Structure 1
Amino acid sequence: MMHSMHAWAPAFALALAACSGSSQPSASTSAASSTAAVPAKAATTSTAAPKQAVAKTFTPPPIDAIPDTPFGKMVREGRAIFMDTQTHAKAYVGNGLRCSNCHLDAGRLANAAPMWAAWGMYPTYRSKNGHVNTFAERLQGCFRYSMNGKAPPPDSPVIVALESYVYWMSKGAPTGVALAGRGYPKKGFKPPQPPDYARGQHVFETNCALCHGKDGQGQKAAGRYVFPPLWGPQSFNWGAGMHKLDNAAAFIKANMPLGRGGMLSDQDAWDVALFMNAHERPQDPRFTGSVAETRKKFHHSKMSLYGTVVNGHLLGSGSPR
């Protein structure tokens, strides 16, 4: 069980519900009791996103439509990288993940961050790094954070191949339009009750451990991960978007258990997201040398457990295990 909630917790919950810019608790303060410091009416972002037109649907072309041309060859190389990043982009990967772990069905599945819904939204400003990002830079960030590796040069064969694959997949999609199925479905998705560590552990043991292992370290076949590790040294690092509770909960609700997305209740999804992200993982590559300072600078969000104390451990302060 997580340690007892301190006196600041009610105010913390109120601040989150109102999505105010109030100051964060110190890194030495416990995040929660068995109930997490995320209230039932938590806002998912600190600032409102600009309103955008939403297309009804988009269907990417079938894989067998990839042309038998030099461009088609590059598209296939991009798809190969996407499906088996360990083999085809090994120099830039630092963990046991591949692109298709978070972007399901080779990046084609709606509500699993499909790549065809991302292509037309770049270039765009991202608050994460405070400037306008190209799509190539967005891909570089995936390698740096989700893959816990290093960014390929923007003109490298890896980035060019991935861009070619996504460009081909997005053929016919409008640009500058937030397509239906983009990202993970977070609109109005809030926990009925504050997420709870103990409940999340039960959800994990009942629904997730079969594939991801009792210790959350994934499962291998012939030396390769067939189910990804959810925390620990081979998982995504503290800078990855999936470490945020709202992102993880929305992905889990829509897509997990694999092939049975939607079977978990909203509460179960939030609870197990908290349980998953209350474990240690590789350090944020932007680490300043201080967990408290890194939280203040990069994790100033109620959706991040980085820099909070869970079960007596300051998350972000130790080696993942």
Structure 2
Amino acid sequence: MVRDEFAFRGRENSPPAANVPLSFTPPPMSKIPDGPEGASIRHGMAIFENTGTEAKPFVGNQLACRSCHLDAGRKADSAPMWAAWVSYPQYRAKNKKMNTMEDRLNGCFSYSMNAQGSPSGGPPPKGDPIYADLEAYFHWLASNAPTGAKLKGAGFLKLKLPQAGYDRDRGRAVYAQHCASCHGDDGQGRTDINGRQVFPPLWGPRSYNWGAGMAQLNNAAGFIKANMPLGAGNTLTDQQAWDAAAWIDSQERPKDPRQKGTVAENVVAFHSGEKTFYGKTVDGHLLGSGTEAPVQASRR
């Protein structure tokens, strides 16, 4: 009933010009309420920030939700969760059905968190309390946001492909200059002296798999342009962002969990029309074959 009333208020307050993005600011953390509702919201935020600890059975890499959704899911142009919450349910071409927020989170665990490599071998089952607490957090972040309206900063930045296209060799130089200091020359991220992941791995067995949205160059380029280097977003040129994305996303990573046959068959089934290196042969290696062997993350 609370959600229905919230949605009704949102529709009532939606602007008549639906194509004009609206500005929105999520509430400060100090406004999280007390009681059971607040406890659920805080636990949802803890899962979001420390996914590998709070949802350990379902995480098969060294990423957390916050790795791609910065500032605890609050930052614009980093697929903020306040914008995602008011966009669901929605139809997704990725799985060709109407998706609830729980469906979307299930997919995040499957692909971005590489749940196939987790202790459980898959994402949290439908109805797991993990989903309820994450949804409580997102619902609170979206307090008073208009349902169904376009919000400024929703999703990742849509970055036009430059005239020169994208090039992984140019991207290697961009990565070395602007990215390696945090993510390591080998792309395996950085850990602190206690072994805790400080900066996430960008490829290899500890990163997102080939089914993740970030494995698509347009998503990675938009994220890089708006947010990287960390704290200095929008300092790289569009060309540098696309080229860095090409270098990062032309490295091997865990298999797409949807793959049942060959990589070529999976390209046709799930990756047609995407800007991706999946299914391409790079340096004599067929990308999409997967990498599962654990590697030691770099340390600072």
| TM-score bracket for this pair, using the shorter chain length | 0.7 to 0.9
- Give the match for residue 167 of structure 2: 196
Tell me the CA shift for residue 313 of structure 1: 1.0
- Give the match for residue 55 of structure 2: 89
Alignment partner for residue 261 of structure 2, among 289, 292, 311?
289
- Give the match for residue 23 of structure 1: none
Letter of the 2:123 partner, please give it: A
Instruction: Give the secondary structure class of the aligned counterpart of 1:226.
Output: strand
- Give the match for residue 239 of structure 2: 267
Letter of the 2:142 partner, please give it: S
Tell me the CA shift for residue 189 of structure 1: 2.1
- Give the match for residue 298 of structure 1: 270
1:98 and 2:69 aligned: no
2:22–2:149 CA contact under 8 A, matched in 1? no
Tell me the CA shift for residue 302 of structure 1: 4.2
Instruction: Measure the CA separation in 2 of the matches of 1:156 and 1:54.
Output: 37
Instruction: Measure the CA separation in 2 of the matches of 1:257 and 1:66.
Output: 30
Alignment of 1:46-195 (within 5 A): 52-149=18-115, 150-186=122-158, 189-195=160-166
- Give the match for residue 181 of structure 2: 210
1:280–1:320 CA contact under 8 A, matched in 2? no
Instruction: Measure the CA separation in 2 of the matches of 1:247 and 1:259.
Output: 19
1:250 and 2:222 aligned: yes
| Higher-RCO chain (CA-CA 8 Å, sequence separation at least 6) | 1
Tell me the CA shift for residue 52 of structure 1: 4.8
1:103–1:112 CA contact under 8 A, matched in 2? yes
Instruction: Give the secondary structure class of the aligned counterpart of 1:193.
Output: coil
Tell me the CA shift for residue 55 of structure 1: 3.5
What value does the CA root-mean-square deviation take over the aligned residues? 1.3
Q: Percent identity?
A: 54
Alignment of 1:27-46 (within 5 A): none
Structure 1 unaligned segments of length 5 or more: list them: 1-50
2:22–2:150 CA contact under 8 A, matched in 1? no
Instruction: Give the secondary structure class of the aligned counterpart of 1:118.
Output: helix
Alignment partner for residue 280 of structure 1, among 223, 236, 252?
252
Q: Provide, for residues 69-94 of structure 1, a one-character-per-residue CA deviation record: whole Å limited to 9, x for no partner.
A: 11011000000000001110101100
Letter of the 2:184 partner, please give it: G
Structure 2 unaligned segments of length 5 or more: list them: 1-16, 116-121, 294-300
Q: Provide, for residues 152-180 of structure 1, a one-character-per-residue CA deviation record: whole Å limited to 9, x for no partner.
A: 12321111100000001101000111211
Tell me the CA shift for residue 305 of structure 1: 1.1
Instruction: Measure the CA separation in 1 of the matches of 2:230 and 2:70.
Output: 9
